[in-house]
Amino acid sequence: MSAAEFAQLLRELKERSGLSYGTLAKRLHMSTSTLHRYCNGDAVPADYAPVERLARLCKASPEELVALHRRWVLADAGRGRKTGVAELAVTAAAEETVREEGGAGEELLDQPGQLDQPDQLDQSGRPRLTRSRRTLLLAGVGVVAALGAVALALSLSLPSGGSDEVKSGGGRSAEAGAASVQGRGAEGTSSPSVSASPSVSPSASASASPSAPVSPSGSAAGAQADSVPLTVATRPYAWVDPCSQHYLIERGPGQVAPPPVEEDAPAWVASHGAVSAGEQFLALTVQGTGEETVVVDSLTVRTVKKRSPLAWNDYAMGYPGVGCGGGVPTRSFSVALDAARPALVPEAGHRDFPFKVSESDPEIYYVTADASAYDVSWYLELSWSSGSRHGTLKIDDDGKPFRTSGENGRPDYEFPLGGSAWERAGASPTP
């Protein structure tokens, strides 16, 4: 149902825009058939960026952008569950077939000319499996057995009992001090603080899909009770619109590739060693991991270091002469990194924290961080609570702080639409 609701909203936006599938597909740099599949509900995009670009082309309102992102998150999660069910069904069918066939398999495997031939009927009228199909089924059962053995070995090696200590050896690696969980014991007395592994950095990598949230690892003992009940997927290189986004790069214009589309921005930034110039726009998708409601109490800005602005060249992502613009989505906040104590401030007319999330009701927060006087390295801390438990999550750029630098007075370049090279901003077009 989530995928159908997601496709329905896409169709409504497309029909309201008055643009054809071909026109939209061309502007989105995708095939017309792919766009058809998204709008018909036959496929769910693995990445949200093209969906957001489609919505903005169709003049979606801030409320529609939030609703579309929420439906995409749920549709993407539903796709994972369907895959899991299908795999279990295939495994069960494989085991049942092997049981029914008994020892007749080796006889079939030894017969020449059976490879890749259509199934034949045995004496009882049942299809006899060909060599290739039987091999695949037996291999699948073998994999299931191997996984079971691994799970048994791991369960025997884990510590038993009610210890509250979290073992870092053999677990998922993380930085120190990023996430903590506090709760109460079974009899109502306060229990010791439990670190959800030494740290958590729930951010998406520059090359990873933003739909893949990173959840913190829990303790070996009592993981169900003390695990952090939410995940955060971070897009550190989202754009409000292309014209608003600039990057500083320590290279001349002849060494810089043309501006990317938004979904390719993380790879483009990584390959050029680029730093967000003037402002950085983050999109955070926060979702519960279960039916329980989790309260997101606050987002706090933590400054790691302030330096003089980078003396690099400034490259604009928009094309001169092409209209830009986009509304401010709901759940939007801004932070002035130049301040002595930077703090998130809700945009005019928008609510401030706290907010509630669950598995079926995610939230998307947008943060615009601006800097003009400094080169600032920073990260966010998300405080959450659920019943008697509470804790914090560190949100950064794949284990590194976000970085935003002022660009005032730096040489600025733009890439003319239809051009072949970067040019100084405001210069006369190359004939």
Same-domain pairing of 131 and 205: no
Residues 323 and 405 in one domain: yes
Give the separation between CA 85 and CA 371, rounded to whole angstroms: 48
289 and 405, same domain (yes or no): yes
What pLDDT sits at residue 29? 76
Among 81, 110, 126, the domain-final residue is 81
Distance CA 284, CA 364 (A): 5
Question: Which residue type occupies 321?
Answer: G
In this structure, are 115 and 263 located in the same domain?
A: no
Amino acid identity, residue 87? Answer: E
* Model confidence, pTM: 0.55
332-336 and 275-277: which strand pairing? Answer: unpaired
Instruction: Tell whether 35 and 119 lie within a shared domain.
Output: no
Q: Dihedral (C-alpha) 193, 153, 200, 83: value to the nearest 10 degrees? A: -130
Are both 76 and 121 inside the same structural domain? no
Pair 351, 223 in one domain: yes
Of 81, 112, 144, which marks where a domain is finished? 81
In this structure, are 112 and 70 located in the same domain? no
Sequence-distant (≥ 6) Cβ neighbours of residue 419 within 8 angstroms: 429, 430
3-state secondary structure 160-219: CCCCCCCCCCCCCCCCCCCCEEECECCCCCECCCEECCCCCCCCCCCCCCCCCCECCCCC
pLDDT at 389: 92
Q: How far is CA 225 from CA 53, 183, 331, 387, 389, in A?
A: 40, 9, 30, 12, 10
Beta carbons within 8 Å of 35's beta carbon, 6+ residues apart: 21, 24, 25, 28, 54
Q: Compute and round to an integer the Cα radius of gyration of the chain.
A: 26
Shared domain for 41 and 144, answered yes or no, is no
Q: Please state the φ and ψ torsions of residue 371, each to the nearest 5 degrees.
A: -145, 140
Per-residue pLDDT for the chain (431 aa), expressed as one digit of tens each? 678 888 899 889 988 888 888 788 877 878 888 888 888 888 888 888 888 888 888 888 888 888 888 888 888 887 655 444 444 444 444 444 434 444 443 333 333 433 334 444 444 444 454 444 554 445 555 555 555 555 555 455 444 443 333 333 333 333 333 344 444 333 333 333 333 333 333 433 333 334 444 444 333 334 444 589 999 999 999 887 767 789 999 999 999 999 998 889 999 999 999 999 999 999 999 999 988 999 999 999 999 999 999 999 999 987 655 545 555 567 899 999 999 999 999 988 889 999 999 999 999 999 999 999 999 999 999 999 999 999 999 999 999 999 999 998 899 999 988 788 999 987 655 55
Q: Is residue 52 in some structural domain?
A: yes
CATH of the domain at 19: 1.10.260.40
Helices (H), 211-264: 223-226
Cα–Cα distance measured from residue 255 to residue 73, given in angstroms and rounded to the nearest whole number:
37
| Same domain membership, residue 309 and residue 199 | yes
| Distance, CA of 200 to CA of 180 (rounded, Å) | 9
State the pLDDT at residue 410: 92
CA dist 72 and 4 (Å) reads 10
- Residue 95 belongs to a domain: no
Coil, strand, or helix at residue 100? helix
Is 92 inside a domain boundary? no
Residue 20's pLDDT is: 82
> What domain count does the chain have?
3
Q: Are residues 313 and 230 in the same domain?
A: yes
Strand partners, 249: 313
Residue 91 lies inside a defined structural domain of this protein: no
pLDDT score for 121: 46
Locus of tokens 């997601």: 6
| Three-class DSSP category at 425 | coil
Give the range of the structural domain holding residue 290, as residue numbers without chain letter. 182-424
275 and 384 housed in the same domain? yes
